[in-house]
Structure 1
Amino acid sequence: MSLELLGCAAIAAVAVLLGNVVVAEASTSPSAFVQNVIYSNKIAIFSKSYCPYCLRAKRIFSELHEQPFVVELDLRDDGAQIQSVLLDIVGRTTVPQIFVNGKHIGGSDDLKAAVLSGQLQKLLSIS
């Protein structure tokens, strides 16, 4: 098997392992990419793979049996540009930045508060 095919197989294996985690580069502008992610997914998390607050947010959705669409900014060449777009949209540079049905929830603490108040479950139409 050629090295090129092995590389493709490795990328495919990583994609399978990561599930809905996006590490591939966007073919559009960072702004268009962010808007597409926010409005094309029930749950979108802009994250960094090593961030404990991001891990907590992902765990909360896992406990609710919901699978978010995750963009790991630290694994992308355009992660800094995406983070800049998020600053323009939400006024924050911190991660995670969480969106449900196109609505900005906030970060990890905001997500936890939304769960405790029942707001998140209403947005997700679960009880």
Structure 2
Amino acid sequence: MSFAFFRRFFYTTTPQAMSAAKTKAQSIIDENAVAVFSKSYCPYCSASKKLLDSLGAKYYLLELDQASDGGAIQDALQEISGQRTVPNIFINKKHIGGNSDLQAKSGELKGLLTEAGAL
């Protein structure tokens, strides 16, 4: 049996919590030029933050493992973006993907960040 099975069995988000989390996640995405949903211990998240920092990007960061509603927000992000893993990155309200997606865009990243007003 997979971890996902146990997670779904033991951790369920109520419809009210899911709705609140989805509203919160969408607000963060809509109100920030760059939004990074991360976990503090994740090496891929660290690599993404390091790349953004190296360019001087201004971004909103939410560490899901440190937020009381982090699990519900991660569930909501899966509904919003189709991606459950972290980092989950949005630039100019557009879903970029995870670390490998961000790294693959490194050549055009400065332009995307400038266009979004994050530099």
Shorter-chain TM-score tier: 0.7 to 0.9
Sequence identity of aligned pairs in percent? Answer: 43
Give the Å deviation of 1:29.
1.1
Q: 8 Å contact 1:58–1:68 — kept in the other structure?
A: no
Q: More relative contact order in 1 or in 2 (CA 8 Å, sep 6+)?
A: 2
Give the Å deviation of 1:68.
1.4
Structure 1 gap segments, 5+ residues each = 1-27
- Which residue does 2:113 correspond to in 1? 124
- Which residue does 1:13 correspond to in 2? none
* Partner Cα separation in structure 2 for residue 121 and residue 105 of structure 1: 14
Q: 8 Å contact 1:45–1:96 — kept in the other structure?
A: yes
* Partner Cα separation in structure 1 for residue 92 and residue 49 of structure 2: 16
Give the Å deviation of 1:63.
0.5
Q: Given the alignment of the two structures, is residue 75 of structure 1 paired with residue 66 of structure 2, yes or no?
A: yes
Runs of 4 or more above 2 Å deviation: none
Q: Provide the secondary structure at the position in 1 that maps to 2:83.
A: coil
* Paired amino acid for 1:86: L
Q: Given the alignment of the two structures, is residue 96 of structure 1 paired with residue 113 of structure 2, yes or no?
A: no
TM-score by length of 2: 0.77
Q: Deviations over 1:16-65 (max 9, x none)?
A: xxxxxxxxxxxx81111001100100110000000000000000011101
TM-score by length of 1: 0.72
Q: Given the alignment of the two structures, is residue 47 of structure 1 paired with residue 46 of structure 2, yes or no?
A: no
Structure 2 gap segments, 5+ residues each = 1-18
RMSD over aligned Cα, in angstroms?
Answer: 1.7
**From 15, 26, 29, the counterpart of 1:38:** 29
> Which structure has the bigger radius of gyration?
1
* Partner Cα separation in structure 2 for residue 122 and residue 67 of structure 1: 14
